[in-house]
Amino acid sequence: GEDVEQSLFLSVREGDSSVINCTYTDSSSTYLYWYKQEPGAGLQLLTYIFSNMDMKQDQRLTVLLNKKDKHLSLRIADTQTGDSAIYFCAESSGSARQLTFGSGTQLTVLP
Amino acid sequence: SAVISQKPSRDICQRGTSLTIQCQVDSQVTMMFWYRQQPGQSLTLIATANQGSEATYESGFVIDKFPISRPNLTFSTLTVSNMSPEDSSIYLCSVVSLAGFNDEQFFGPGTRLTVL
C-alpha cells in the first residue's frame, strides 16, 4: 500500500529557515498536502500541491515537489516560535481523496 | 474554507460503553471522512461517510465497531462501540468542500476520547 515517511524531529533557531522533508511511494499520487497540528488542536491545512506542479509559494511557505524521486518538502522562511508544531505531509490519489499521512515532524523553534 | 464542528470535544468513558461523535459542516460538502489519531501517532483513515448509504471502511475497521451515518451533505456521526482502552484516541472528521477548491481537505477540531 501507500507509504509516506517523514523525519520525526527538527530544531531551528528563530529567524532561520526550516525545511521539512517527506517521501512517498505511490506514483499515482495526485495531491500532496501539508498540515500543521499545534498541541491539543486539530489539523490546519497549510498548503497543497498538485502533482503536475514542482513548486508552490504562499507567503513564508514554499513547497517543492520532485515527482521523479517522490520527494516533497516544506520550507518555512523566517521561522517564528509560533511555528513550533507537528507538521504532517499527506498524499491522495485519484478522485477518492482519502489521505495517507506521514508520521509527522515535530518542529521546535529555539529562541 | 469550510467550518467544521465536532461534538463532544472530549469525553471520558467506561469500558464496554458506546459514544457517538457528531460532525457538522457549515456548507455542503462532497466527501466526509473519519480518521483516528492514537496517542503520539499519525492519522489513520477509518472510513468514508457516504450520503444515504453505508460507509466505506478501510482495512482493519468494521461497521459493527464503528457505525457511521451521513443523512445529508453537512452532517455525519461516528459511533465507537463497546469501547476498550485501546480506543482512546482523537477522532477527526474531514471534508472536501463544494464551496472551495475541491482539492482542499479540511479537518474538524477532533474529539479526544479516553476509555478507562
C-alpha B17/C-alpha B1 separation (Å) is 35
In this predicted structure, what is the pLDDT of residue B102?
A: 62
Closest-CA distance of chain B to residue A67, Å:
18
Q: Can you tell me which residue has the cell 483516528?
A: B36
C-alpha B98/C-alpha B57 separation (Å) is 23
Put residue B82 in one of left, alpha, beta given phi > 0 → left and psi -120 to 50 → alpha: left
Give the angle subtended at the CA of B108 by the CAs of B104 and B111, to the nearest 5°: 150
Give the nearest partner residue to A45 out of B31, B45, B104, using CB atoms: B104
In this predicted structure, what is the pLDDT of residue B47?
A: 96
In this predicted structure, what is the pLDDT of residue B55?
A: 95
Closest-CA distance of chain B to residue A34, Å:
11
Instruction: Please say if the pLDDT value at position A1 is more than 80.
Output: no
Under an 8 A CB cutoff, do B105 and A92 touch?
A: yes
Closest-CA distance of chain A to residue B42, Å:
5
Note the pLDDT tens digit of each residue in B45-95: 999 999 988 999 999 999 999 999 999 999 999 999 999 999 999 999 999
C-alpha A24/C-alpha A100 separation (Å) is 9
B chain contacts of residue A86, beta-carbon cutoff 8 Å: none
- DSSP 8-class letter at B75: E
Instruction: Please say if the pLDDT value at position A42 is more than 90.
Output: no
B chain contacts of residue A43, beta-carbon cutoff 8 Å: 43, 92, 94, 107
Under an 8 A CB cutoff, do A45 and B1 touch?
A: yes
Residue type, A34: W
Contact B89, B42 (CB under 8 A): no
Check if B33 contacts A (Cβ < 8 Å): yes
Instruction: Please say if the pLDDT value at position A34 is more than 70.
Output: yes
In this predicted structure, what is the pLDDT of residue A29?
A: 81
C-alpha A67/C-alpha B23 separation (Å) is 35
DSSP string across A66-104: ETTTTEEEEEESS--GGG-EEEEEEEEETTT---EE---
